[in-house]
Structure formats: structure tokens, C-alpha cells
Amino acid sequence: MINSGEKISRNAPGALRLGAIELPGRAFLAPMSGITDIGMRRVASRCGAGLVISEMVAANFYIAADEETRLRAEGEGLPVHVVQIAGREPLALAEAARLAEAAGAHAIDINMGCPAKRVVGGYAGSALMREPDLALSLVRAVVAAVTAPVSVKMRLGWDADSLNAPVLARAMEAEGVALITVHGRTRNQFYKGRADWAAIRAVREAISIPLVANGDCASLADARAMLAASGADAAMIGRAAMGRPWLVGEIAAGLDGRPWRAPSPRERANAALEHYRTLLDLFGERQGVRHARKHLAAYADHAMDEGMGLSPAMRTKLVTTTDAQEAADLLEQAFQSAQELAA
């Protein structure tokens, strides 16, 4: 349920922990490059997500004070701010972690799961699973650099012949990592086929720290099945949260048996507009409108799936206009019924 005035309590009995931080739910918003900007994370957090994580931040660019990279690491207004860093140089990752903590990050996540060619081509992301010694040296450097808890996101392995996530996770726990997330695919699968939730169980059996399962979770039923198959403590939701960031809170409430009231169309419109206006504030109107288009399309499409929304022509205008106010007006209309639009 959306409640802009409600503060999230981290004192619930038996709450899941990220180091010393108690989290309010067992459904997390996944870090997604170009997607989980601060606007989306604020909405998801306020709607009850147990944790939200920044877009991937390249350590070298962050150290160089690149402005766009700094915006990816923005966390103002979040009850728990986690910055995900990526790279393959221990000193650079350690420095990026120190800078993020100094800027307000409550926790640091290390990316060892991104399958993108541009990341793997730089021998970072999931490529690190082929270099376990280097991966552990990165973890060791980051853990030593900050007082904040450190987590790692990885895949099952590089390919089907090297499913080394359990061995790596056990070694990372020994180095002081507080939480592990595993996407139920290998790097070579990218996002093809279905995530293998049952394969994540081998990691559960290897570690005692909290484990988060990721991959193809799009509903409460998926999350329950994912946790049952993997033995994980929490579910991470990625692409399914685009256009409906409140989904993460809905799943978190369901996993804990708490009541959930779906946000009304008006509340959804307000959340979408808040997200959109945050992007305009961050990037300026011209760049902000372009940056927002994928989100505008997702909000409009989910509204249409629920019987609201725009005509095809109006949707096209929403995702092509360069007029910031026109986009805002169309986004608001996306959450109105056909009767309301005709009135």
C-alpha cells in the first residue's frame, strides 16, 4: 500500500538483516542499469520493498566524479541506501566503496552477475566468476575499506560446466560478506530460458548468511515458489517491477502474511508522476524526458493491462513527445478509465 507519510520500521520480530540493518520485508528491488534510478527506488521503498539497490556504478567513473555515475548512486530519501559497484581493480573498488559510504550509503553491493558484453568485455560483472581469486581479492578490499555491510550479487556460474556459486559464496562469507544474491542462470544464458531456482539451493547449503534468489519473479506466487525451491531468505524482483514498482511491496507483504491494499489508480498515477518528475529534476527537462521513456511506456502498458489507459495513438505520443508537460499529462491520463477519459 502506498503511504507517503508512513515510515518503514526495521524492528519487526525476526526481520531479515543486512549486517546490522534490519529490513522490513523479504522482497527486494533488483539493481538494473538504466532502470532503478532514485525515483523508482523511492517509490518502491515507500510502497514496502524490503530493500532497493542502485543501478550498477562503475568504480573508475565514480572515483573520477563523473556526474552521470554520481546520479546513479544517488540515495537521498531512502531509509536504507545500497550502492552497487562494479570493476575488477581492488584498489578502485575499495575507493569507490569508501566514497559511496561517505556520501551516505548504508551498504555496498558488489556486482559479479551482470552478463552484458560491455561489462564482461572489461572482465568485470559475471566475468569475475571465472577468476575466483580476483573475485575474493575484490571482496576483501571492499570489506576492509568500509564499516557498512557488504553484499555480493552473482550468477550460478559462467556456464553449465562451471557452477561455482556455492564455492565462491562460502569463501565470500569467510571474507566478511553479509548477504549473497544469486540469479538462477549462468552468464552464458544471459536472460534466456527460465531461471533455475532449485539450482540456487546449493548456495543455501554452502552459507549461513542471508541468501536472496533472483530471476523471473513476477508475482507473489512466483516468490513463494522461488523461496521454496531455493531455500533463500528473500526474493529479488527485477524486470517485472518496471511500470509497477509497488509490486515489490505487495510481494513483501504477502511473503510475511501481512495485509496489502493495492494502490488506487490515483495513487498509482501520483507515484508514476513522482518518479517522472524526479527524473526531470535530476537530468533536466530535455534529457529527463528521454531517460523516462522506458518507464512511461511500462506505466502505460500496465495500466492498459488493468483496463485503464491510453489509446495506441496517445501511447505513441507519450513515448515520443519532447514536451515535458505533455508527457506528464498523458502519464496521468494513463491511469484513468475509458469513461473518465471520455468525460
Strands 82-86 and 51-58: parallel
C-alpha grid cell, residue 338: 475509458
69 C-beta neighbours (distance < 10 Å), count: 19
Q: 250 with 267: CB under 8 angstroms?
A: no
Length of the chain: 343
Report in angstroms the alpha-carbon separations of 27 from 143, 181, 245, 256.
25, 12, 12, 10
Q: What cell does 327 get? A: 508527457
Residue 6 is given by DSSP the state: P
Cell readout for 144 is 576492509
Q: Between the CA of residue 263 and those of 4, 46, 272, what are the distances in Å?
A: 12, 12, 12
Q: Is 114 a catalytic residue?
A: yes
Q: What is the largest CA-CA distance in the chain?
A: 65
The catalytic residue among 114, 119, 213, 298 is: 114
Give the span between the Cα atoms of 112 and 50, in whole angstroms. Answer: 22
Catalytic site positions = 114
